[in-house]
Amino acid sequence: RYLLKTRYQDKLSITMDIDPAILNQAIPKVTLLQVVENSIRHGFERPYEQMRIAVRGFVRDGWWCVEVTDNGDGFDHNVLRELKLRIQADRDALLRHEKNLQMQFGGMGLINTSARFTVYYGERCAFEIGNTPEGGARVFLSAAIREEGA
């Protein structure tokens, strides 16, 4: 957060509202960083007076949840459709334990992030992408709460 804020100065606003109840939950390394960087890199193609990114963490029905939203351009309809299809196909393949799954790198940060998340949590997780009603992007991650030591 500090490095991004230093680079963009007053043009970037990142707010975080995290329920302390989820702070001890494990998440694969750089997952949230990848989501936030993806938002900055792809979500603000037009000039914006201020790029606003909000990270909200909470508990719902025995699952921890993290939602990242921005006030940027949102996902293009066709790109969003393609990303959702790839994320679902990769998730299905990973959950079937397919050994020859072809992961692509470069330009597919959210797909790879979703795959790492699925490998780490298995069936007891969700990774959703979409647009906010206001037009910005939304990425939602959740997983079953793990008790310490589990």
pLDDT in tens, the chain (150 residues): 555 555 566 788 889 999 999 998 988 778 888 888 888 887 787 776 788 999 999 999 999 999 999 999 999 999 999 999 999 998 998 888 765 555 554 446 888 889 889 988 999 999 999 999 998 999 999 999 987 644
| 66 closest CA partner among 107, 112, 115, 25 | 25
Residue 11 has a pLDDT of 82
Taking each helix axis as running N to C, give the angle between helix 31-43 and helix 109-121, from 0 to 180 degrees, rounded to the nearest 10: 160
Pairing of strands 125-131, 63-70: unpaired
Residue 107 has a pLDDT of 45
Residue 3 has a pLDDT of 53
Euclidean distance between CA atoms 24 and 9, whole angstroms: 30
